[in-house]
Amino acid sequence: MIILSIETSCDETAVSLISATGDFPNASYEILGDALWSQIDVHAEYGGVFPSLAKREHARTIVPMLQQAIKDSELETHKNQVLTSDLEQQIVTLLEREPDLANTLLGFVKETGLPEIDLIAVTSGPGLEPALWVGVNFARAIALLSNTPVVSVNHMEGHILASVFDVERDDMLSEIKFPAISLLISGGHTELVLMKNWGEYEKIGQTRDDAVGEAYDKVARLLGIPYPGGPEVARLANEARQKNFSQFADLPSPMINSNDLDFSFSGLKTAVRYAVADKDLSHYDKAGLCRDFEDAVTAVLVKKTAQAIAEHSAQTLIVGGGVSANQHIKRTLEAFLLREFPEVTAYFPAPGLSTDNSIMIALSGHARATSAIAPAATDIIRADGNRSLT
Ligand code: KG4
Ligand code: ZN
């Protein structure tokens, strides 16, 4: 089956065309087209993602992303499609909050046309609700235009699948042993999820305030590093580690000794703010501070993950979300597992699949459409900024 997938939950506008053969999780996938537009530069001056701006950028770039994905896929399209005025009116009504988008999409469909697709998968949450609505309404418009079912995807399930997916191998998704623990660490989320099977999730721990990626970005901002500063903080931390820069600050690992599986990062961010207040920091100071911060974060992530694995006798650890690209966190977790839980297999996303993308949305849509995982409703899909993983 050919899946068209759409992701607009935060600051990436992404559209993919994926071919799936077989049912989830025993399927093989081929990425036919994958287009992604990052809005990072648009939000950088605000130091974070600005929801109404994100929505406007999604509406502006989603047709070009669709066009790019179709072009890359080399799939044949139904050119010069004649649309009834009734259908055109339905599309205009559906996209009335983004009037330019309706015109651009109708123009594109009439001129270039859509390929034959079997399923549309779209992120419906969690995320920024105005941003999510653009993708959801766009998916519903394409569903009308192509007479194709649309399935709603939970963004966090997408991150979990992205971490296990390997385009070179067909058996990755089917080899997962349960129970599994997922550690989801991104700009918006920090949570530990117990998976008894694909689609059977129980949130067993979460942050009480900031997400770990958010803490990275806030520390970056204190150091004058533009949004999203996570990768640059990580780069400086690595430099300090390699060159053995001295400790800059003695930072706490909040809640490391609480007996539950919850996290808190706002105290750590505040400790960083006090440590840098009124100081003129040298490059060594900044790099040392980044390392101290990253060590404090890593210690608490490792401790809570270990506790979750032990409490639930997990056989698998799946780490996903933007922060799972962090090499220090990855190496430390892997070394720890090897020492303490050698029977546990750990999965981290392939490069390019840790941050938001639409390949992961296609995988989750395919899972929901073809397996025992409870299918998501395909009638009227709504954006839900707080959608939880169930
Ligand atoms: O999953 P994602 O793309 O978006 C959300 O759903 O939030 O995650 C983005 C987050 C940002 O906070 C970014 O700074 C962080 O992931 N990030 C990193 C690294 N790469 C991305 N944080 C630490 N180290 C990295 N290498
Ligand atoms: Zn994400």
> What would the pLDDT profile of 185-212 be if each residue is shown by its tens digit?
999 999 999 999 999 999 999 999 999 9
Ligand 1 atom nearest residue 214's Cα = 12
Q: Are residues 21 and 63 in the same domain?
A: yes
Q: Is 0.75 topped by the overall pTM? A: yes
How crowded is the C-beta side of 351, counted as CA atoms within 13 Å?
A: 1
pLDDT higher than threshold 90 for residue 170: no
Q: Are residues 135 and 257 in the same domain?
A: no
Pocket residues: Cβ below 6 A from ligand 1: 10, 186-188, 213, 216-217, 228, 230-231, 234, 321-323, 325-326, 355-356
Q: Residue 81: its pLDDT value, please?
A: 79
Phi and psi for 120 in degrees, rounded to 5? -115, 130
Q: Are residues 358 and 328 in the same domain?
A: no
> What would the pLDDT profile of 263-295 be if each residue is shown by its tens digit?
999 999 999 999 999 999 999 999 999 999 999
Q: Compute, in angstroms, the gap from residue 25 CA to the centroid of ligand 2.
A: 22
CATH of residue 228? 3.30.420.40
Please name the residue whose Cα sits nearest to atom 7 of ligand 1: 187
pLDDT band at 6 (very low <50, low <70, confident <90, very high): very high
pLDDT higher than threshold 80 for residue 242: yes
Give me the percent of the chain exceeding a pLDDT of 90.
88
Provide DSSP, 307-345.
Answer: HHHHHHT-SEEEEESGGGG-HHHHHHHHHHHHHH-TT-E
Q: Compute, in angstroms, the gap from residue 246 CA to the centroid of ligand 2.
A: 34
Closest to 178 measured CA to CA, from 199, 159, 156, 157: 199
Question: Is 261 within a domain?
Answer: yes
Per the CB < 8 A criterion, the answer to whether 204 and 193 are in contact is yes
In what side-by-side order are the strands of the sheet with 200-206? 200-206, 190-197, 180-185, 316-320, 345-347
Q: Locate tokens 């067993």: which residue?
A: 204
Read off the pLDDT of each residue in 352-359 and give the average, rounded to a whole number: 95
Question: 284: domain range?
Answer: 176-347
Question: Is 385 within a domain?
Answer: no
Q: Are residues 341 and 359 in the same domain?
A: no
Question: Is 390 within a domain?
Answer: no
Q: Are residues 111 and 215 in the same domain?
A: no
Q: Are residues 133 and 187 in the same domain?
A: no
Question: Is 168 within a domain?
Answer: no
Question: Is 387 within a domain?
Answer: no
Dist CA 116 CA 321 (whole Å) = 31
Total structural domains in the chain?
2
Give me the percent of the chain exceeding a pLDDT of 70.
98
DSSP designation for 116: P
Please name the residue whose Cα sits nearest to atom 2 of ligand 1: 322
> What would the pLDDT profile of 300-320 be if each residue is shown by its tens digit?
999 999 999 999 999 999 999
Q: Are residues 100 and 196 in the same domain?
A: no
Dist CA 243 CA 291 (whole Å) = 11
Q: Are residues 77 and 208 in the same domain?
A: no
Q: Compute, in angstroms, the gap from residue 49 CA to the centroid of ligand 1.
A: 12
Q: Are residues 194 and 336 in the same domain?
A: yes
Read off the pLDDT of each residue in 59-83 and give the average, rounded to a whole number: 94
Q: Are residues 30 and 83 in the same domain?
A: yes
Bridge-based pairing state of the strands 316-320 and 345-347: parallel
Please name the residue whose Cα sits nearest to atom 10 of ligand 1: 187
Question: Is 238 within a domain?
Answer: yes
Q: Are residues 334 and 235 in the same domain?
A: yes
Question: Is 389 within a domain?
Answer: no
Q: Are residues 318 and 366 in the same domain?
A: no
Read off the pLDDT of each residue in 106-115 and give the average, rounded to a whole number: 95
> What is each CA distance from 94 to 91, 101, 132, 284, in whole angstroms?
5, 10, 14, 54
pLDDT higher than threshold 90 for residue 374: no
Question: Is 166 within a domain?
Answer: no
Q: Residue 378: its pLDDT value, please?
A: 58
Q: Locate tokens 């003129």: which residue?
A: 280
Q: What is the mean pLDDT of the chain?
A: 95
Provide DSSP, 179-205.
Answer: SEEEEEESSS-EEEEEEEETTEEEEEE
